[in-house]
Amino acid sequence: MGGFDPLERLAKVRALFFPAPGRTLGKRPLPVLSQAAPFIENLMWSQGPVLFATLHVVGSGNNAAKPGEYQARNAASVSWLKTAFATAKKQGFRGIMLIMQANPGFEKKNHTGFADTLAALERETVQFPGQVVLVHGDSHYFRIDKPMVVAENNPEGSRVENFTRVETFGPPDVHWIRATADPRDPMVFQFEQRIVEANIRKR
């Protein structure tokens, strides 16, 4: 895109936004745990009753068409996902929020690029005693739903009630979502859409 080498751009992003291990940028840096190099963009941190983790899973089929780049990154992201769940269970977090770019296509589980991620996410979520939220963008369609269905022992599928997907706004609808977490609430997470008046398209 734009005539740039995607791997060179990724290296630039890592250099710009992940220069200091163990903390975020900004006026109020947060302590974070980073996966081993080169996948330093896979982060983990906690706030209140929730453990947060970022996963480097991208659109366009997770770039599976280029196995030289895909295989190592995919393995690292799946491993980080498992580590996040293990950490959340060990430390007793009420909820876990995973954040990535790609819409993994819950309706198309046979998509090769996301198959490992979806399989691991399903296994870990079913075994997790708290609430799980996956936040992603990619397809530019705001929604909050429960798309995870497990077919095992139930041919019609069984809804995984402790899993919620939040897809953020995206162009041409540029707005935002406020997320809060309350340890007293059995659902833990609440989400509120915030419409930016200046970004409303003229009809």
* Banded model confidence at residue 18, pLDDT cuts 50, 70, 90: confident
Is the pLDDT at 1 greater than 60? The verdict is no
The verdict on residue 145 lying in a domain is: yes
Q: What pLDDT shows up at residue 153?
A: 58
Is the pLDDT at 111 greater than 90? The verdict is no
* Banded model confidence at residue 76, pLDDT cuts 50, 70, 90: very high
Rounded CA gap, 182 and 48, in Å? 8
The verdict on residue 22 lying in a domain is: no
**What is the model's pTM?**
0.92
* 124-129 own/partner pairs: CB under 8 Å, 24+ apart: 124/81, 124/82, 124/85, 125/160, 125/162, 125/163, 126/150, 126/160, 127/85, 128/85, 128/88, 128/89, 128/96, 128/162, 129/89
The verdict on residue 27 lying in a domain is: no
The verdict on residue 3 lying in a domain is: no
Q: What pLDDT shows up at residue 110?
A: 62
Number of domains in the chain: 1
Question: Which one of 9-13, 116-120, 155-159 scores highest in mean pLDDT?
Answer: 116-120
The verdict on residue 94 lying in a domain is: yes
Distance (Å) of CA 27 to CA 10, 23, 35, 87, 158: 24, 11, 23, 27, 45
Q: Give kind and range of the element (H or E) at residue 134.
A: strand 131-136
Closest CA to 88 of 117, 125, 56, 116: 125
Which range is least confidently modeled, 14-23, 54-63, 64-73, 96-105?
A: 14-23
The verdict on residue 12 lying in a domain is: no
Is the pLDDT at 33 greater than 90? The verdict is yes
Check which CATH number belongs to the domain holding 37 and give it.
3.30.750
The pLDDT tens digits of the residues spanning 160-174 come to: 999 999 999 999 999
The verdict on residue 16 lying in a domain is: no
Rounded CA gap, 66 and 73, in Å? 11
Is the pLDDT at 10 greater than 70? The verdict is yes
Residues 6+ apart with CB under 8 A from 198: none
Range of the domain at 141: 32-157+166-199
* Banded model confidence at residue 134, pLDDT cuts 50, 70, 90: very high
Q: What pLDDT shows up at residue 150?
A: 86
Closest CA to 114 of 54, 195, 60, 169: 60
Closest CA to 177 of 160, 158, 152, 196: 196
The verdict on residue 2 lying in a domain is: no
Percentage of the chain lying above the pLDDT 90 cut: 80
